[in-house]
Amino acid sequence: MNRIVPTDDVYRNVSVRAPGRVNLIGDHTDYNEGLALPMAIDLQTAVGFIESGSGRLLLYTTFDPHPADLPVDIPFDPDVLAGITPPWASLAAAVAAQVAAPHGGVGRITSTLPSGAGLSSSAAFSVALATALGFAAPPRVMAELCRRAEAAVGVSVGLMDPMVVTGAEAGKAMMIDFSTLHFEHVSIPEDAHIVVVHSGIDRVLRATPYNARRAECEAAAVELGVPLGRAEQADLPGMLDPVLRRRTRHVVTECQRVLAYADAMASGDLAAAGTLMLESHRSLAQDFEASTPRVDELVGSLASMPGVYGARMTGGGFGGCVVALTEPGALNPSTWGDRAWRVIPSAGVSLTERPAAPENFEGGGDAV
């Protein structure tokens, strides 16, 4: 892990861009030490940040007229974080408290990522801000920081989102084994188009059964004696609780689908990949109960269109987005207005150093 420290007479002036992500297959497997195959996308969060000697972090965003004004030495204490206003600033504070930047400054945050859509807007925000504040680390270390930050403000997320936001390569998805945090890059064929369509149901994970599903998985893991991502189908008949058995079956079969999907992509068999996406959605809807009737209807509608190989819900579920794998041009995102995007597999977080700010800089912060 490295921290970028300014010299005595200049302050850092940086521009950071962090992508969102869409998970092609492998949901609710990360916190179960299983497999997932997400990819970074060309929708992103950007932070322009100029350090100053103020001892405070002043952060502006385009999604809230109220800025965050935080001391650089804010403690990493959930009770303190819960009282921060505006509400979005609690996550910023949880990131900043762990980075422990030696200087204050002014940051301007913009984003093309829709909030509450399941495209990892919070991980993009956290990774971009941590990077802007001078935190430089491998994907697994950055992911741990972001997971702690989200947990401190009430959301027990896994490591998948910040890992891919940090470590993705352009043109590729990222297959991650969460039992070891080993990852490898999987090329996406050029004739594979990926379209994301919002279901129209916004959600904040802390207000959904997401945490309840995690608790059920933890209970099932205790019964089996292993994390669900390392369980096998032979373990299922011995489970007495039918709910825990269904949750386990989803995780076990989903990990198998991730491996098969990576093989299908490597061989260019997009029809097989699409079939696996449909199987994944059925498992998420029936065994994991993480879908909704509207999302199910959208998946079915997309899958029935000519040139669409398959579709599934993506992200934590309970609303948000559906991802479809298609032939080139099979789906026109404009059909759904501003609720659909054709996304491109993109690189992870990037930082650009700009001309250094003078020693007596006291404000500003260029938009990016």
Taking only the tens place, the pLDDT of each residue in 179-204 is: 999 999 999 999 999 999 999 887 66
- Asked if 161 is an active-site residue, the reply is yes
CA separation for the pair 321, 299 (Å, rounded): 10
Rounded to 5°, angle at Cα 53 from 48 and 55: 90
Q: How far is CA 32 from CA 175, 178, 251, 313, in A?
A: 15, 8, 8, 19
pLDDT tens for residues 61-71? 998 999 999 99
pLDDT for residue 275 is more than 70: yes
* Residue-level pLDDT at 204: 64
Q: Are 143 and 120 in contact (CB under 8 A)?
A: no
pLDDT for residue 360 is more than 60: no
Q: From its phi and psi, is residue 34 left (phi > 0), alpha (psi between -120 and 50) or beta?
A: beta
What are the structural domain ranges in the chain? 2-186+347-353, 189-343
186: which strand partners?
173
Q: Are 186 and 262 in contact (CB under 8 A)?
A: yes
Confidence of residue 354 (pLDDT cuts 50, 70, 90): confident
Q: Are 183 and 167 in contact (CB under 8 A)?
A: yes
In terms of Cβ atoms closer than 10 Å to its own Cβ (0-12, 13-18, 19+), residue 223 is middle
Sheet with 340-343: list strands edge to edge: 308-314, 321-326, 193-198, 340-343
pLDDT for residue 162 is more than 80: yes
Q: Are 164 and 21 in contact (CB under 8 A)?
A: yes
* Residue-level pLDDT at 63: 87
Q: Look at the alpha carbons of 251, 255, 260, 265 in this order and tell me if their dihedral is positive or negative.
A: positive
Q: Are 108 and 127 in contact (CB under 8 A)?
A: no
Q: What average pLDDT does the segment 76-81 reach?
A: 94
Choice among 27, 64, 73, 161 that is catalytic: 161
Strands 340-343 and 13-25: unpaired
CA separation for the pair 107, 89 (Å, rounded): 12
Q: Which of 108-117, 256-265, 351-360 has the highest mean pLDDT?
A: 256-265
CA separation for the pair 191, 212 (Å, rounded): 39
CA separation for the pair 238, 214 (Å, rounded): 21
* Residue-level pLDDT at 367: 39
Rounded to 5°, angle at Cα 209 from 204 and 211: 85
How many beta carbons lie within 10 A of that of residue 246, not counting itself?
18
Which one is predicted more confidently, 3 or 196? 196
Mean pLDDT of the chain: 92
Confidence of residue 362 (pLDDT cuts 50, 70, 90): very low
Contact partners, residue 16, CB within 8 Å, separation at least 6: 46, 47, 48, 49, 128, 131, 132, 349, 350, 351, 352, 368
Instruction: Provide the residue type at 362 as one letter.
Output: E
Query: What's 357's DSSP letter?
Result: B
* Residue-level pLDDT at 206: 67
Query: What's 87's DSSP letter?
Result: T
CA separation for the pair 326, 311 (Å, rounded): 9
3-class state of residue 169 by DSSP: coil
Percentage of the chain beyond pLDDT 90 is: 82
Q: How far apart are the first and last CA of the chain?
A: 26
Confidence of residue 119 (pLDDT cuts 50, 70, 90): confident
Q: Which of 1-5, 337-341, 345-349, 351-355 has the highest mean pLDDT?
A: 345-349
The CATH code that applies to domain 189-343 is 3.30.70.890
Confidence of residue 317 (pLDDT cuts 50, 70, 90): confident
Closest C-alpha to 186, from 24, 368, 19, 68? 24
CA separation for the pair 153, 167 (Å, rounded): 24
Q: Was domain 2-186+347-353 assigned CATH 3.40.50.720?
A: no
Closest C-alpha to 24, from 159, 193, 245? 193
In angstroms and rounded to an integer, the radius of gyration of the C-alpha atoms of the chain is 21
Least confident of 83-92, 167-176, 348-357: 348-357
